Amino acid sequence: MTLSPKTRPRFVRAVAAVLTIPAAVAVLTGCGKSEPGTNADGKAVLRYQGSTGQVSAYELADDLGYFSKIALHWEGDTTSGPANIQAAATRQIEFGSAFNGAVVKLAAGGAPVTSVLSSYGADEQSFTGYFVRDDSSINSPRDLIGKKVGINTLGAHHEFITREWLHQQGLTDQEIKQVELIVVPPANTEDALRKGQIDVAALGAVFRESAVGRGGIHALYTDKDLFGQFDYGTYVFRKDYIAQHPEVVKDFVQGTARATRWLQVTPRDEVVARFASIINKRGRNENTDLLKFWRSPGLPVPGAVIAEKELQIWIDWLVRNGDVPAGKLTAKDLYTNKDNPYANGTYGPATGPTGEVVASK
């Protein structure tokens, strides 16, 4: 159903983008690709979508030798969290990662998925900033009315943070709707800002660091300013896959949690060198230049343990805006930490690929 302009809530683009997921799930869940089974070594194959020029925690876990029951199979790259978890829900891949608000919307639409591990967030060194040129006339939230904000995808983190910031700064729903959100690939966002094709650029991680290093821009607001150090996204698996392959999911979670902890305690230069080695070995014709701008994993919680508030905050938010019926969802029904070795609150040392202890920073 298409909402009329008069009835669309202030998260109109977010809702429109994410509401396409349940419909796709209903059509495709029963007719997606079959599960790939095992490889020649008897390991379960987990298909996934990656990010060009970057290394995920699970790819690192694989390289560190933290998995014993699974083998990863790259299906291509993505820059969209909602599309990534839709692919997981529709059996195109086994797991995906997205902003928790998009995960909540997916679950509210009937998709049978469960979050098993935090996947990204904001810490002291890694976060998303929303940048303007130093010569820009944009100095306040109200200056964004009628302007263009470049984001990686609709219905996800960048959009929700922008709309929440504008709301907190006192703009009305009607005024917020006049801020135009433009989808730009992360690799092109800085260039679009400098050329005046957009007025504000959402830049995170290595893209933020490299852009700031070239000068001439400054942050108007950041996600860390709004919510502090926080885990914003999670990895999800389909519930039926978890039920049918509990040991496989457990292996994924424990290995990825350990790799996340490795990232949290290992000296930066060692991390960057490891990432470069992984990218070069996987042979995807990628550029490693952005690695020099890597600062931290962006996950403040040891071992990527999920906190209930990290999902509940978006449930409450979507309920307030009429996007999810009150009482339909509770955070505790959307996630599990049962396979995470760090979930008991005692954070052991990270270990290297042969079991050696990695010293904390």
- Given a contact cutoff of 8 angstroms between Cβ atoms, the answer to whether 85 and 98 are in contact is yes
pLDDT at 308: 95
Q: What are phi and psi of 236, to 5 degrees?
A: -125, 145
How large a percentage of the chain has pLDDT more than 70? 86
CA 58 from chain centre, in angstroms, equals: 13
* Consecutive H or E run containing 263: helix 246-265
Buried b (16+ CB within 10 A) or exposed e, 335-353: bbbebbbbbeeebeebbee
Least confident interval from 7-21, 30-44, 91-105, 259-273: 7-21
Gap between the Cα atoms of 27 and 118, Å rounded: 28
pLDDT at 190: 97
Q: Is 106 helix (H, G, I), strand (E, B) or coil?
A: helix
- Helices 12-28, 81-89: inter-axial angle, 10-degree rounding: 20
CA 44 from chain centre, in angstroms, equals: 24
Res. 16: pLDDT tops 60: no
Res. 285: pLDDT tops 70: yes
pLDDT in tens, 86-137: 999 999 999 999 999 999 999 999 999 999 999 999 988 889 999 999 999 9
Output the CA angle 203-169-18, nearest 5 degrees.
55
pLDDT at 155: 79
pLDDT in tens, 28-72: 444 445 567 888 889 999 999 999 999 999 999 999 999 999 999
pLDDT in tens, 169-190: 999 989 999 999 999 998 899 9
Res. 296: pLDDT tops 70: yes
How is 309-325 classified by DSSP, letter by letter? HHHHHHHHHHHHTTSS-
pLDDT at 347: 61
Res. 11: pLDDT tops 60: no
pLDDT band of residue 3 (cuts 50, 70, 90) is: very low
Residue 162 has which token pair?
């922008």
pTM value surpassing 0.95: no
pLDDT in tens, 150-174: 998 887 889 989 998 999 999 998 9
- Given a contact cutoff of 8 angstroms between Cβ atoms, the answer to whether 157 and 128 are in contact is yes
How large a percentage of the chain has pLDDT more than 90? 67
Higher pLDDT, 7 or 297: 297
Average pLDDT, the chain: 87
Query: For the chain, what is the radius of gyration of the CA atoms?
Result: 20
- Given a contact cutoff of 8 angstroms between Cβ atoms, the answer to whether 130 and 202 are in contact is yes
